Amino acid sequence: MALHVMDEANRCLQCKNPMCRTGCPINTNIPEAIRLLRENKLNEAGKMLFLNNPLTTVCSLVCNHEKQCEGHCVLNHKGSPVHFSTIENYISTTYANQMTEGPKPSNGIKVAIVGSGPAGLTIAVILARYGYQVTIFEIRDKIGGVLRYGIPEFRLPKSVLDDFEMRHLLMKGIKVRPNTTIGTSITVDDLFRDGYKAIFVGTGTWRPNTLGIKGETFGNVHFAIDYLASPDSYHLGENVIVIGVGNAAMDVARTAIRKGSRNVTCFARRDSVSASQYEYSYAQLEGVKFEFNKSPVEILDDGVIFKDTVTDENGKTTVVEGSEKTYPSDSVIISVSQGAMNRIVSTTKGLDVNEKGLLIADENGHTSRPGIFTSGDVVSGAKTVVEAVAASKKTAEAMHEYLQSLPKE
């Protein structure tokens, strides 16, 4: 591993205008990390990566590198880019094992984080660095949100999140209340009552979008976000149809293959996939089949009726009447993105949402109610992990500025 990593590091040209950094949504100083590694300053490189991105270990595994850092590498023009994902993973995981820094001296100000997905974890770590007393409220039994319950083990081992909880949360004095739903027994107003001076809402997007077609309530139909959260709870059978071709659909299909389904087919309305080529190629390699230009019409007990589609030069897709065909299956998994749950909104006065139920916030995470901040998927809809981290870094600084502006008690 070390030899391979150094081989990659030594390929870096140390560009004066590093396009790899431009391609990174969180502006990671990639050339500097590589330079430090070359000089055997691994700990310095690791510290720099974690200060810039608390989820660097995670991002090294799940980022869409082909469209971000590696996709912008100038060596792409001559063949293969520098694979920074490999370098970042080696630096971050090696350095993480040596992180022993405890909590900062407390400034006595309490902050609540609702949700422990990428956004919530980023906010928690950054605010803890400032000395705030941070408590995370998580609806499930373990931290991670979509990282734990929406990304398969083969892409993101749960041990990475367990290590994160120990080194970044518990070691830094961040408290975690698992199995706690804000908006039922405990409300946002209760949090303010108990002395929390600011609240971050990072509840993500856990409400699956539907197709709106007949048959979606049948017992052989499931939603991707639910299946990925607990695949062992499902008995899909031999033949599985996945409706959708995004990254989540690739995760679903590859997981179903691993759980014993022999024939898994993803259906797309257009003639291409929206998933990354990396994930698409892995799905193909593992035996997932694809059907393009197909639009679902009705779900049956033993299959799905699709119609053919055509896409014109303006990108508009229409169905071809009279082209109905039934594709047999034991189970159907719908993977067409997801929206926000509304439990907090429905129990909290003064929080504005848009027509999709997503929270409305400015670019720094201020919501319509003072003291409540938000960022990540619950604002933007389902996006990538690194995009959630990038937005949340801005929000954390906005929260810090807000908290410092409050009258001293």
* Structural domain count, the chain: 3
Q: 390 in a domain, yes or no? A: yes
- The reported pLDDT for the residue numbered 14 is 95
Tell me: do 232 and 313 sit in the same domain.
Answer: yes
By three-state DSSP, how is residue 356 classified?
coil
By three-state DSSP, how is residue 175 classified?
strand
Alpha-carbon torsion (107, 112, 117, 118), positive or negative: negative
Tell me: do 227 and 195 sit in the same domain.
Answer: no
Q: 104 in a domain, yes or no? A: no
Rounded CA gap, 353 and 396, in Å?
21
Q: 167 in a domain, yes or no? A: yes
- The reported pLDDT for the residue numbered 349 is 78
Rounded CA gap, 134 and 127, in Å?
7
Tell me: do 219 and 257 sit in the same domain.
Answer: yes
Tell me: do 200 and 226 sit in the same domain.
Answer: no
β-pairing verdict for 303-311 and 325-328: antiparallel
The residue-averaged pLDDT of 122-141 equals 95
Please write the tens of the pLDDT for every residue from 355-395: 777 888 999 999 999 999 999 888 877 788 999 999 999 99
The residue-averaged pLDDT of 286-310 equals 97
By three-state DSSP, how is residue 223 classified?
strand
Q: 385 in a domain, yes or no? A: yes
Look up the CATH number of the domain holding residue 19.
Answer: 1.10.1060.10
Domain boundary among 73, 96, 119: 96
As given in the structure block, the two tokens for residue 371 are 């003291």
* Among 50, 48, 19, CA closest to 32: 48
Predicted confidence (pLDDT) at residue 299 exceeds the cutoff of 70: yes
As given in the structure block, the two tokens for residue 167 are 């080194």
Tell me the one-letter amino acid at 259.
Answer: K
Return phi, psi of residue 297, to 5°: -110, -45
- The reported pLDDT for the residue numbered 100 is 65
Please write the tens of the pLDDT for every residue from 85-113: 999 999 999 998 877 666 788 999 999 99
Tell me: do 215 and 316 sit in the same domain.
Answer: yes
Q: Which residue range(s) make up the domain with 86?
A: 2-96
Q: 299 in a domain, yes or no? A: yes
Which of the pair, 341 or 18, is modelled with greater confidence?
A: 18
- The reported pLDDT for the residue numbered 136 is 97
Q: What is the pTM of this model?
A: 0.91
**Can you name the residues that pair with 309 across neighbouring β-strands?**
319
Look up the CATH number of the domain holding residue 295.
Answer: 3.50.50.60
Tell me: do 161 and 234 sit in the same domain.
Answer: no
Tell me: do 49 and 62 sit in the same domain.
Answer: yes
Tell me: do 196 and 219 sit in the same domain.
Answer: no
* Among 118, 212, 215, CA closest to 164: 118
Please write the tens of the pLDDT for every residue from 181-235: 998 889 999 999 999 999 999 988 778 889 999 999 999 999 999 999 999 999 9
- The reported pLDDT for the residue numbered 333 is 98
Average pLDDT value over all residues in the chain: 92
Rounded CA gap, 268 and 155, in Å?
23
- The reported pLDDT for the residue numbered 341 is 64
Residues 288 and 264: beta-carbon distance below 8 Å: yes
Hey, how many other C-beta atoms are within 10 angstroms of the C-beta on 219?
7
- The reported pLDDT for the residue numbered 3 is 58
As given in the structure block, the two tokens for residue 170 are 């518990």
Work out the percent of the chain whose per-residue pLDDT is above 90.
Answer: 78
Tell me: do 81 and 115 sit in the same domain.
Answer: no
- The reported pLDDT for the residue numbered 144 is 94
Please write the tens of the pLDDT for every residue from 321-357: 999 999 999 999 999 987 766 667 667 778 888 877 7
The residue-averaged pLDDT of 234-243 equals 97
Domain boundary among 276, 310, 336: 336
Alpha-carbon torsion (104, 109, 110, 113), positive or negative: negative
- The reported pLDDT for the residue numbered 342 is 62
Return phi, psi of residue 219, to 5°: -70, -15
Q: 282 in a domain, yes or no? A: yes
Rounded CA gap, 155 and 286, in Å?
14
Tell me: do 131 and 198 sit in the same domain.
Answer: yes
Please write the tens of the pLDDT for every residue from 37-63: 999 999 999 999 999 999 999 999 999
Rounded CA gap, 200 and 110, in Å?
12
Rounded CA gap, 384 and 180, in Å?
25
Predicted confidence (pLDDT) at residue 409 exceeds the cutoff of 80: no
Domain boundary among 305, 336, 367: 336
| Range in 41-50, 158-167, 398-407 with the lowest mean pLDDT | 158-167
Tell me: do 131 and 19 sit in the same domain.
Answer: no
